[in-house]
């Protein structure tokens, strides 16, 4: 492999880069080819992919990858100062990462010096991304007071905004061009609202005001609770203590340390004022904040340096790309976004995937710890496996003595609001009728998907929809065959050596919109099928390609001792 910088210049704080990479062997059906740019300053390192590269296949079987992008230098590193940095190129392809690729320059650049054969040094002048987080309360308080004054003035000016909107209906005006909407009244209300929020400086509307409330409360409380203590567990996806949180909490609860909770099924700014204030005060008092998903308000709050944020990511491994790895694609975070970059520690299952989490979250790789995934501890405990089976059979006696097939696909779409699964892609009645009577089907759709199947009366004793109940990990203990597609449930299933079928009926379309870190076809630990008929046939024939499961498990779990929760709890206690 060889990389060539075609163009590189810095303009108004943006590093404009055009890059070409030659790859010797290329499979056009493998969508795992990715180019990662590695930026290093004196203290930090940042992995950023080259978004939306163009791949041209060559006659000799190789390929030329070309891409260009503008990277914001100010947001390149987190919490450090620098006046230069080095640039390297890495290519990820077919489950391998190639670093140290020879790097050529097509012309001389004033800000570039040769660092080595595989890197260049870029001089950019002094930059600093260090925030005085512990001394910003007066600044935030003054901004909040000004917002209140603007809000009052906006209320007083409301008749003027309304009059302006009404005047727009006079001949010569076109309110449809001023504001969108089907009804004239809707357009008028939207116009007045937009004028009001812009006047008040609340470009985000009410949400922006709520952000200010949380920030102000947090920094006011921080000035009171100068000495941080205890742990805060935060979730915007669950109202009870489950998953990784539960396992870590069980290890921490015996310690003499305060543990606080803020568990909701929505963002803090979507809750009432009381809940927002409670969240801000709890955060201000805590030494460690534990999260298991994307909590954007934490970055907006500009947390104290005394508070450490640890990410117990809800998914195992690194299968589908996420976060900054999706830069340039729909649903990806903005390059300026700091929500993931505030983490002081990220816990993953193996050393081999640390670089992917470093890239996805925009943190240095040294902050990613392969301590294991807490909720997988129960899978490595063979005695516990039997206990869990007995409990599940006691809860669901109709499943005892049956061959259980778990259908657990992931969602399509860009996130919670647009998530779906094609209803006609899988027909439960036709599926179960193709199998012997001792087979039962459990349906477990992703929590984001709201899909109900109409089941025939004669099949209701063989088909059960558990989408709204039970943890998917619990169901694995009684699963004989797992049917999934692009879901991370395959990691937990591999620990139990469960036969897997990958029902990838939309493989090309899905891979084109949602990239993977590894190559899908060479990575998944089971047989890939494209039709429901193939699914039934593979189950009847016992054709699962199960020999792939054990190596997959070894590669993705460094520690198979069932002590991940203990390791993470010990790390947290050291911080506390």
Of 180-189, 267-276, 323-332, 458-467, the range with the lowest mean pLDDT is 180-189
| pLDDT recorded at residue 109 | 74
227-372 against 377-556: fold identical:
yes
The H-assigned helical ranges of 225-265 are 243-252
| pLDDT recorded at residue 243 | 87
- pLDDT tens sequence across 64-83: 999 999 998 888 898 888 88
Residues with Cβ within 8 Å of residue 483, at least 6 apart in sequence: 405, 406, 407, 408, 409, 500, 501, 503, 535
**CATH number corresponding to 377-556:** 3.40.50.12580
- pLDDT tens sequence across 2-45: 999 998 988 888 999 999 999 988 887 777 789 999 999 988 89
Give yes or no for residue 182 having a pLDDT over 60.
no
Angle at 518 between CA 514 and CA 521, to 5 degrees: 85
3-state secondary structure of 403: strand
Higher pLDDT, 184 or 55: 55
- pLDDT tens sequence across 520-532: 888 999 999 999 9
How many Å apart are CA 131 and CA 128, to the nearest integer?
A: 9
Strand 500-503 relative to strand 527-529: parallel, antiparallel, unpaired? parallel
Backbone φ and ψ for 544, nearest 5 degrees, come out as: -120, -5
- Token pair 């409670």 is found at 278
Q: How far apart, in Å, do the first and last CA atoms of the chain sit?
A: 47
Give yes or no for residue 335 having a pLDDT over 70.
yes
Give yes or no for residue 388 having a pLDDT over 70.
yes
User: CB burial class (10 A; 0-12, 13-18, 19+) of residue 286?
Assistant: buried
Helix (H) or strand (E) holding 163: helix 158-167
Most confident of the following: 7-11, 88-92, 445-449: 88-92
- pLDDT tens sequence across 259-294: 999 999 888 888 888 999 999 999 999 999 999 998
Confidence grade of residue 484 (pLDDT, cut at 50, 70, 90):
very high
Confidence grade of residue 176 (pLDDT, cut at 50, 70, 90):
very low
| Average confidence (pLDDT) over 86-105 | 90
Give yes or no for residue 54 having a pLDDT over 70.
yes
| pLDDT recorded at residue 171 | 54
Mean of pLDDT over the chain: 88
Domain ranges, ordered by start, for the chain: 2-128, 133-203, 227-372, 377-556
- pLDDT tens sequence across 109-152: 777 888 899 999 998 888 877 654 554 556 666 666 777 787 78
User: CB burial class (10 A; 0-12, 13-18, 19+) of residue 25?
Assistant: exposed
| Average confidence (pLDDT) over 186-214 | 73
| pLDDT recorded at residue 447 | 84
- pLDDT tens sequence across 299-322: 888 888 889 999 999 888 888 888
Give yes or no for residue 202 having a pLDDT over 70.
no
Of 210-219, 430-439, 525-534, the range with the lowest mean pLDDT is 210-219
Give yes or no for residue 442 having a pLDDT over 50.
yes
Q: Which CATH number fits domain 2-128: 2.40.30, 2.60.40, 2.40.70, 2.40.10?
A: 2.60.40
Instruction: Identify the CATH homologous superfamily for domain 227-372.
Output: CDP-glycerol glycerophosphotransferase, N-terminal domain (3.40.50.11820)
| pLDDT recorded at residue 397 | 94
Helix (H) or strand (E) holding 204: none
Give yes or no for residue 481 having a pLDDT over 80.
yes
| pLDDT recorded at residue 493 | 96
Residues with Cβ within 8 Å of residue 438, at least 6 apart in sequence: 401, 402, 403
Give yes or no for residue 178 having a pLDDT over 70.
no
Residues with Cβ within 8 Å of residue 167, at least 6 apart in sequence: 173
Report whether 144 contacts 212 (CB < 8 A): yes
């Amino acid at each position: 492999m060889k990389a060539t910088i075609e163009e590189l210049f810095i303009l108004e704080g943006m590093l404009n880069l055009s890059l070409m990479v030659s790859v010797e062997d290329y499979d056009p059906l493998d969508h795992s080819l990715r180019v990662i740019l590695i930026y290093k300053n004196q203290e930090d390192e940042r992995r950023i992919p080259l978004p939306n590269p163009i791949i041209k296949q060559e006659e000799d079987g190789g390929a030329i990858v070309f891409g260009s992008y503008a990277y914001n230098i100010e947001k390149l590193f987190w919490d450090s100062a620098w006046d230069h940095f080095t640039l390297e190129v890495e290519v990820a392809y077919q489950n391998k990462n190639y670093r140290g690729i020879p790097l050529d320059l097509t012309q001389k650049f004033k800000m570039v010096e040769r660092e080595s054969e595989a890197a260049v040094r870029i001089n950019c002048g002094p930059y600093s991304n260090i925030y005085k987080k512990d001394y910003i309360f007066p600044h935030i308080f003054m901004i909040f007071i000004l917002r209140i004054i603007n809000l009052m003035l906006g209320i007083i000016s409301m008749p003027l905004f309304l009059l302006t909107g009404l005047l727009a209906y006079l001949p010569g005006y076109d309110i449809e061009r001023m504001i969108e909407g089907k009804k004239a009244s809707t357009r008028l209300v939207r116009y007045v609202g937009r004028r009001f929020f812009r006047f008040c400086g609340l470009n985000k509307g009410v949400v922006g005001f709520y952000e200010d409330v949380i920030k102000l409360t947090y920094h006011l409380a921080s000035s009171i609770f100068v000495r941080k203590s205890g742990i805060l567990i935060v979730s915007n996806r669950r109202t009870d203590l489950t998953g990784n949180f539960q396992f870590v909490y069980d290890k921490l609860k015996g310690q003499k340390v305060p543990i606080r909770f803020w568990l909701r099924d929505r963002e803090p700014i979507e809750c009432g004022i009381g809940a927002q204030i409670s969240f801000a005060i709890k955060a201000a008092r805590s030494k460690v904040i534990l999260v298991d998903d994307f909590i954007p308000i934490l970055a907006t709050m500009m947390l104290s340096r005394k508070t450490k944020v640890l990410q117990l990511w809800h998914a195992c491994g690194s299968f589908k790309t996420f976060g900054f790895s999706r830069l340039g694609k729909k649903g990806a975070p903005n390059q300026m976004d700091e929500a993931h970059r505030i983490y002081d520690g990220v816990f993953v299952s193996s050393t081999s995937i640390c670089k992917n989490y470093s890239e996805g979250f925009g943190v240095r790789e040294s902050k990613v710890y392969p301590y294991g995934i807490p909720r997988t501890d129960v899978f490595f405990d063979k005695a516990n496996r039997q206990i869990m089976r007995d409990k599940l059979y006691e809860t669901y006696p109709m499943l005892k003595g049956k061959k259980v097939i778990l259908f657990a696909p992931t969602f399509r779409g860009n996130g919670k609001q647009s998530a779906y699964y094609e209803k006609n892609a899988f027909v439960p009645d036709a599926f179960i009728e193709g199998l012997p009577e001792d087979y039962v089907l459990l349906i477990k759709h992703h929590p984001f998907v709201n899909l109900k199947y109409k089941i025939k009366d004669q099949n209701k004793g063989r088909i059960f929809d558990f989408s709204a109940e039970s943890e998917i990990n619990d169901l694995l203990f009684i699963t004989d065959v797992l049917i999934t597609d692009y879901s991370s449930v395959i990691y937990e299933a591999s620990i139990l050596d469960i036969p897997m079928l990958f029902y990838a009926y939309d493989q090309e379309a899905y891979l084109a919109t949602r990239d993977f870190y590894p190559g899908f076809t060479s990575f998944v630990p089971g047989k890939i099928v494209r039709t429901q008929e193939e699914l039934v046939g593979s189950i009847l024939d016992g054709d699962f390609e199960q020999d792939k499961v054990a190596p997959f498990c070894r590669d993705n779990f460094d520690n198979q001792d069932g002590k991940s929760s203990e390791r993470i709890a010990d790390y947290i206690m050291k911080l506390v």
